[in-house]
């Protein structure tokens, strides 16, 4: 799209009550249960569910081309509530391809958990609720988990050259999982 990359891009628009993103050049990607094979521990439960079930969608703005050094992207993620067995719906999770690139996530709506994992698989979490702003340091994998009953909406900003390394998570996962225990989220 010739109009997408401009020296002085027009502003995009966030509805702060819903997190919805609109404006020129907004892109969207949707992840379904079927596309998240191998992510959840309870494979039998995963198989029993409808593979076209939407788990999350990301609407994002890339005012400069992917891979540009020194640029920034902006995005909104809507993560649906639900579970596969006892494990809450979550995003795939990733390291950045350029490992030292940091990122911000901020919660607009809903409740959840931000999962972090260092390169040595040490895993920890932070509670997400409307207004929380989460700094993701470089070299730390990150994933969002919806522990509530409504969609979890977050905004994010990341480096345009950060890239995504999903493969490390696909093969090894995170060091811990967020599951329900006696009605409460529990990192195990």
In this complex, which beta carbon is closest to Fe ion, that of residue 83 or of residue 143? 143
Residues 6+ apart with CB under 8 A from 154: 19, 76, 77, 79, 105, 106, 107, 108, 128, 144
In this complex, which beta carbon is closest to Fe ion, that of residue 103 or of residue 161? 103
Shortest gap between Cβ of 50 and Fe ion (angstroms)? Answer: 28
In this complex, which beta carbon is closest to Fe ion, that of residue 78 or of residue 179? 78
103 binds Fe ion (CB under 5 A): yes
Residue from 70, 66, 77, 103 nearest 21 by CA:
77
In the sheet where 152-159 sits, what is the strand order? Answer: 27-32, 54-61, 72-79, 152-159, 103-109, 133-136
161 binds Fe ion (CB under 5 A): no
Query: x/- binding map, residues 52-91, to Fe ion, per CB under 5 A?
Result: ----------------------------------------
Q: Which residues bind Fe ion (CB under 5 A)?
A: 103
């Amino acid at each position: 799209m010739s109009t997408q990359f401009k020296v002085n891009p027009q502003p995009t628009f966030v509805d702060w009550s819903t997190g919805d993103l609109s404006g020129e050049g907004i892109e969207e990607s949707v992840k379904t249960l079927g596309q998240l094979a191998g992510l959840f521990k309870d494979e039998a439960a995963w198989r029993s569910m409808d593979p076209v079930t939407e788990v999350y969608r990301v609407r994002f703005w890339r005012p400069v081309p992917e891979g540009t050094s020194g640029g920034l992207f902006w995005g909104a993620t809507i993560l649906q509530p639900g579970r596969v067995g006892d494990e809450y719906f979550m995003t795939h999770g990733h390291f950045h391809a350029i490992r030292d690139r940091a990122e911000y996530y901020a919660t607009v709506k809903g409740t959840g958990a931000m999962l972090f994992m260092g390169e040595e698989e040490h895993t920890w979490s932070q509670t997400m609720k409307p207004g929380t702003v989460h700094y993701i340091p470089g070299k730390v994998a990150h994933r969002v988990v919806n522990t509530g009953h409504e969609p979890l909406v977050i905004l994010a900003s990341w480096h345009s050259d950060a890239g995504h390394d999903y493969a490390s998570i696909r093969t090894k996962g995170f060091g811990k999982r967020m599951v329900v225990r006696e009605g409460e989220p529990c990192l195990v």
